[in-house]
Amino acid sequence: GRSLRAFAREPWRFLLLGLTGGFGMGFCVFLALSHTSSITVQIIMNTNPVLIVPLSLLVGERVGVGKVAGVIAGAVGCGVVLVGVPQQVALENPHHVLGGALAALSGLCWAVYTVWGRDVVRRHGGLTTTTLCMLIGGVAFLVACVVMGKDLRLSSQGALTGLYLAVVPTALGFTAWYMALEKLPANVLGPLQFIVPIGGVALATWLLKEEVTPAIVVGGALALLGIYLATRGPSAGEEPTESPVRLDSRGHGRRLRRP
* Enclosing domain of residue 208: 2-234
Closest CA relative to residue 52, chosen from 259, 257, 252: 252
In a domain, 227, yes or no: yes
Q: Decide if 254 is inside a domain.
A: no
Q: Please write the tens of the pLDDT for every residue from 214-235.
A: 999 999 999 999 999 988 766 5
Asked whether residue 244 is assigned to any structural domain, the reply reads no
Cα–Cα–Cα angle for 227, 106, 12, nearest 5°? 110
In this predicted structure, the answer to whether residue 236 has a pLDDT above a threshold of 80 is: no
Q: Residue 245, class by beta-carbon neighbours within 10 Å (0-12 exposed, 13-18 middle, 19+ buried)? A: middle
Separation between Cα atoms, residue 30 and residue 41, nearest integer Å: 10
The phi, psi pair for 10, rounded to 5°, reads -140, 65
Residue 124, pLDDT score: 83
Lowest mean pLDDT among 39-48, 78-87, 186-195, 221-230: 186-195
pLDDT band at 106 (very low <50, low <70, confident <90, very high): very high
- The mean of the pLDDT values for the chain is 82
Quick one: pLDDT at residue 80? 96
Whether 44 is covered by a domain: the verdict is yes
Instruction: Compute the distance between CA of residue 253 and CA of residue 206 in angstroms, rounded to an integer.
Output: 34
Tally of domains in the chain: 1
- 249, part of any domain: no
62-82 pLDDT tens trace: 888 999 999 999 999 999 999
pLDDT score at 62: 82
pLDDT for the residue numbered 127: 78
pLDDT at 141 over 50: yes
Residues 144-162 have pLDDT tens digits of 988 887 776 778 888 898 8
For residue 117, being part of any structural domain is answered with yes
Quick one: pLDDT at residue 115? 84
Residue 258 lies in a domain: no
Cα–Cα separations (whole angstroms), residue 146 to 19, 21, 26, 106, 152: 16, 21, 17, 21, 8
Burial of 2 (0-12, 13-18, 19+ CB in 10 A): exposed
Decide if 206 is inside a domain.
yes
* Residue 240 Ramachandran class (φ > 0 left, ψ -120 to 50 alpha, else beta): beta
Lowest mean per-residue pLDDT among 52-56, 164-168, 251-255: 251-255
pLDDT above 90: residue 170: no
